[in-house]
Amino acid sequence: MQPVFRFAPSPNGLLHLGHAYSALLNEQEARRHGGRLLLRIEDIDRLRSRSEHVQAIFEDLDWLGIAFDGPVRFQSAHMDDYRKAADTLQQRGLLFACDCTRQRVAREAQALSGPDRLSTDPDGAPLYPGHCLHTPPHLDQPVAWRLRMEAALQTVTVDDLSYQAFAGPRGDQNSEWITRPTAPQRWGDAVLLRKDIATSYHLSVVVDDALQGVTHVVRGRDLEAATDLHCLLQALLGLPRPHYDHHDLVTDTDGTKLAKSRMSKPLRQWREEGASPAMIRSMLGFESTECHNG
Ligand code: GLU
Ligand code: ZN
C-alpha cells in the first residue's frame, strides 16, 4: 500500500516558518517512503478563513517548490461528509445538544468542588461541567453537539485507543515507531459540532484523513493531545488509524528555538527581503532541492 501524507493548513493567516517546516517534513517523508503528498485546506471556519489566504498558501508552497499530488481538498466543500459521521455518532447515542455559553461553562466549572474544579482540557478550556446532560436545551435555537465522553469510552477498549507514534531521531533511516496509549478523557465532553459551523476541527480532520486514505499524519507537537481525541473518534466511527509523527516546533540550526519574531514572520516577507527557497530549506535543516541530484 502506498503511503499517503498530507499538509493541512488553515487559511486564517499567512504561512510562516513553522508551517514551512511542517510542509517540508511531510514532503521529505513522503519522498523517502515513496508516498503521495496531499494538500488540504482546513477552511471550515467561515469567519476566519479568507480566500486571499488560500491564494497566498498556494503561492508560498509553490515558491518553496513543494509539489502536491491529486486535487486539493477544501473542507468547506465537504460538510455532508462531516454530517454523515455526526449522524453515526448520533445514532449510537453518543452526542448531546448543548446551548451553554462560555460564561455558563466557566460559572459551573467554578462551582464544582474537589479535583474536578477548574480542570481544563488540553486547549485550556474548562472541562464541560455537564449542565445540558441533565437539562437538555430546546432545539429551536442553535446548539452545539458534544460527545458523551463517558459513554463513548465504555464502547471501546484500551487497544482501540493506542496508536503508532514516531519516536526516533529525525532523519534517522531506522525510524523508530512506538505504541502510544491515549487519554481522550482529558478532553471531556468535547464539542464535535460547533454552534456556528455544524462541524469542528476534530471531527473534520478525522473524517478527511480517512476519506483521503492518509496513512501518516506528520504535524506539530502542539496537536499531540488532539490525537488522543482523534483516535477515540476513529474507534467510534470505525475508521482506519494513520501513524502519527508529532514533530518538535521549529529550531534553529544551532538547536535554539527560533526567536518568536523570526518564527512568526510570514514566508512572503522572507521572500520580499530576498530569501530564496533554498535558504528557507537550509535554515530549517532540509536539503535544498537544487542539490538533490548531487
Ligand atoms: N489545520 C491545522 C492547523 O493549521 C492542522 C491540522 C492537522 O494537521 O491535523 O493548525
Ligand atoms: Zn450545555
Q: Whose CA is nearest to atom 4 of ligand 1?
A: 9
- pLDDT (0 to 100) of residue 238: 98
Ligand closest to Cα of 15 equals: 1
**Going by CA atoms, what residue is nearest to atom 6 of ligand 1?**
8
Return the pLDDT at 293. 41
Distance 95 CA to ligand 2 centre (A): 12
Q: Which of 21, 123, 219 to mutate to test the pocket of ligand 1 (most atoms within 8 A of CB)?
A: 219
- Number of the ligand 1 atom closest to the C-alpha atom of 219: 8
CA of 155 to the centre of ligand 2 (A): 23
Residue 13: the pLDDT is: 95
Does the beta carbon of 42 lie inside 6 Å of ligand 1? Answer: yes
Question: Which listed ligand is nearest to 6 at the C-alpha?
Answer: 1
205 pocket-lining for ligand 1 (C-beta < 6 Å): yes
Amino acid letter, residue 173 = Q
- Specify burial of residue 63 (Cβ count, 10 A radius: 0-12, 13-18, 19+): middle
Distance in Å, CA 199 to ligand 1 centroid? 15
Grid cell of 112 as nine digits: 464544582
In contact, 218 and 247? CB cutoff 8 Å: yes
DSSP states of 66-101 as a string?
----SPPEEGGGGHHHHHHHHHHHHHTT-EEEE---
Q: Give the per-residue pLDDT at 186.
A: 96
CATH 3.40.50.620 fits 1-77+264-294, yes or no: yes
User: So what's the pLDDT on residue 255?
Assistant: 54
**pTM for the model:** 0.93
Topology agreement, domain 1-77+264-294 and domain 78-252: yes
**Domain 78-252 sits in CATH 3.40.50.620:** yes
Residue ranges covered by each domain of the chain: 1-77+264-294, 78-252
- Digit-by-digit pLDDT tens for the chain (294 residues) are 899 999 999 999 999 999 999 999 999 999 999 999 999 999 999 999 999 999 999 999 999 999 999 999 999 999 999 999 999 999 999 999 999 999 999 999 989 887 777 689 999 999 999 999 999 999 999 999 999 999 999 999 988 999 999 987 776 666 688 999 999 999 999 999 999 999 999 999 999 999 999 999 999 999 999 999 999 999 999 999 999 999 987 765 455 556 666 777 899 999 999 999 999 999 888 976 554 443
In angstroms, the CA 292 to CA 284 distance is: 16
What is the model's pLDDT at position 215? 98
- pLDDT for 216 equals 97
- Is 8 near ligand 1, meaning CB less than 6 Å away? yes
Please tell me if the CB atom of residue 206 comes closer than 6 angstroms to any atom of ligand 1: no
3-state SS, residue 283? helix
